[in-house]
Structures are given as structure tokens and as C-alpha cells.
Amino acid sequence: MVTTATGVTTTEYVPDAAFNRASRTVTTASGSVTTTYAYDPGNRLSSVDSQPVDWNDFGETVTDHRGWDIDRAADGAEVALVDAAGIPAYGFTRGPGGEAIEVEESASGDTRSFLWGPSEADFPVSILDETGTDHLYVAAEGMVLGRVEGGALVPMAQDGLGSVVLDGVDLLPEPGAFGETPAPASAERRVYALLESLPGTSYHLPRRRLYDSDTGRFASADPIGLLGGDNRFGLDPPQWTLTRKVTAHPAPDPSLYPGPSYSIPNCRNLAASSGKSDRATTHSSAPRLRRSKGPAIRSRRRALETA
């Protein structure tokens, strides 16, 4: 069991034998709420509090436990989020390598564009936000030091697990072990593990695969298979695998992490990987689906898993 505390709220995560999250208990002054999670033999999340999760044969979520649809291009890349009422929430444009290069909020039409460097970085070189402001990130040795906006440097700092704790003059609250705590209202949306948050949802947008902070899981399997860790869909257990890099890392100091029974694997699976599936990889021409709720794409060519 792992316990995290933020203010007056305490969250306890209990993993199963496969290091999947079996339950989460959130305790506040008004009481406790426990959420339970179930998995199929393929290590895919099958339900949350008995609400089913629908997957396709390629290891990709089609409908989540809240009834949201994830629409995909022919190669499996996520191109849209559609809410439980059938209303499009977000559309995504992908680059040639599968990286997210633009996100559009469907209701407002606001777009945010991302410029990625040639390396497998966890965060983009720059972002053009919905107001037309360009954010140019300044980094050293994989850590963000600040961003340049309008010619001025806005200092930033990350904690040891990669989340932003300083944005300009503002000290930011801890986003929680899996990022469940919503990011504060600010121009910077990449607070938890440098992942782009999608306001109004629990989803975050890494370089490639969608990540759901409510479940601590990705919406598809790691394209590099078991090279990204034993768990191809989720963050391996809570706090002790939150190394948020795509390259290999030395194992963290075991004394920093609770639980004598847990190993500390190298984790490469949070920000998606440099490995590519053998699906077709033309992303930029993928249509953004704008439709009423209906059956998601069920059949397409693929071999996403390389393990």
C-alpha cells in the first residue's frame, strides 16, 4: 500500500500482484471513498467500480469507464475525445512520428500547437497557445528551467519526480502521485510530469499516447512492448516509478520508497517511447472525427505490440 497526502486529503493506493492498481481510497474530513479496479488476463483495465472499459483487439481503449470514446486514425493514434453525451471534446493532429503537434478544444475552437525537437524529449521545444502566445522552453539535462514569453524569461522548477513546482513567482501544489489533482489555472498546462493537461477531463497528452490520471493508465499499450517495463498500459506502481523519461534510468534509491515487497523497475513508459509500431505511420493526414456518439473504429491493420 502507498499513501500520499495533500493538505487534508489522504490517498491510499493498493496494488495487486501484477502491480496494477487494485483500489484507491481518498480520505477527507467528510469521510472516505474507495474506487476499485479490475483487469483482464492481458493486463488491460476491464472496469472501474464495475463500469466497463471497452478495448479493441490492438490493445487500445475504445470507450473508457466514464463512457467517453477515443477515436483513432488507421494506425491507432488518438485523433479525438468524445464525451459520454456524444459531444466532441478534443481533437488531435499527429506528426509523422506520431507525436501530438496540435490539440483543439472542440467547444471553443481554441488550438494549441507543439514544436518537438528531434530527440525523444518529454516536452516540446515550444508551444503556441490558444491566445497566440509562444512559449519557448529553456532546459538543461532534461530539466525545464523556464520558458520565454514575449522576450521575458519565466522561471520554472521541477521536483525530483518531474512535476512543475514553480511557475514564475507561483509555487504550485503537488499534483498527486498520478496527477489526479487538477493543474492550477495558469498559462502553463504542463505541470504534472510535463504532460499537457486537457482541462475538463482527467486525460493528459504526452508526446504520443493519451494518459488518464484517474486510472494511472495509458489508453494504449506501450509500442515498445516490455522494453518499457512489465506493465505496458500503466505507470508501474505509484510513487516509486515516477521517473518520467523515455531513456533508461538507474533504479531509484529503495530507501526513498515505501513497501519492502516492491521492486523498483526502470520506467520508460510514461512519456511514450521511441519505438514505433508496424502500423502505417502517417499521422498528419488523419481526419479529426466530429460525429455523434456511435461505434468506434473496430478493425484496422496493426501489430502495435513489439514484445
Please give the Cα distance from 183 to 162 (Å, whole number). 14
Phi/psi of residue 228, nearest 5 degrees: -90, 5
Q: What is the pTM of this model?
A: 0.74
Please give the Cα distance from 164 to 183 (Å, whole number). 10
| pLDDT tens digits for range 55-74 | 998 889 999 999 999 999 98
pLDDT, position 277:
42
- Domain locations in the chain? 2-256
Please give the Cα distance from 227 to 306 (Å, whole number). 9
In terms of pLDDT, which residue wins out, 301 or 50?
50
Query: Quick check: 264 and 254 in contact, CB under 8 A?
Result: yes
| pLDDT tens digits for range 94-139 | 998 888 999 999 999 999 999 998 766 778 999 999 989 899 999 8
Per DSSP, the residues of 35-71 read EEEEE-TTS-EEEETTEE-EE-TTSBEEE-TTS-EEE
Whether the pLDDT of residue 3 is over 70: the answer is: no
The mean pLDDT value of the chain amounts to: 74
Cell of 124: 516540446
DSSP 201: S
| pLDDT tens digits for range 34-61 | 999 999 988 889 999 999 999 998 889 9
- % pLDDT > 90, the chain: 35
- Residue whose C-alpha cell is 459520454: 84
| pLDDT tens digits for range 243-289 | 332 223 333 333 333 333 222 233 333 333 333 444 433 333 333 33
pLDDT, position 286:
34
Please give the Cα distance from 178 to 13 (Å, whole number). 10
Please give the Cα distance from 248 to 262 (Å, whole number). 19
Q: 169, exposed or middle or buried, with CB in 10 Å at 0-12, 13-18, 19+?
A: exposed
Q: For residue 266, which of 306, 222, 304, 226 has the smallest C-alpha distance?
A: 226
Averaged pLDDT for residues 208-231: 74
Contacts of 133 (CB under 8 A, 6+ apart): 149, 150, 187
What sign does the dihedral 131-137-143-145 (CA atoms) show?
Answer: negative
- Which residues on adjacent β-strands are paired with residue 128? 113, 134
Residue type at 231?
N
- Assigned CATH class of 2-256: mainly beta
- Residue whose C-alpha cell is 523556464: 146
pLDDT, position 8:
77
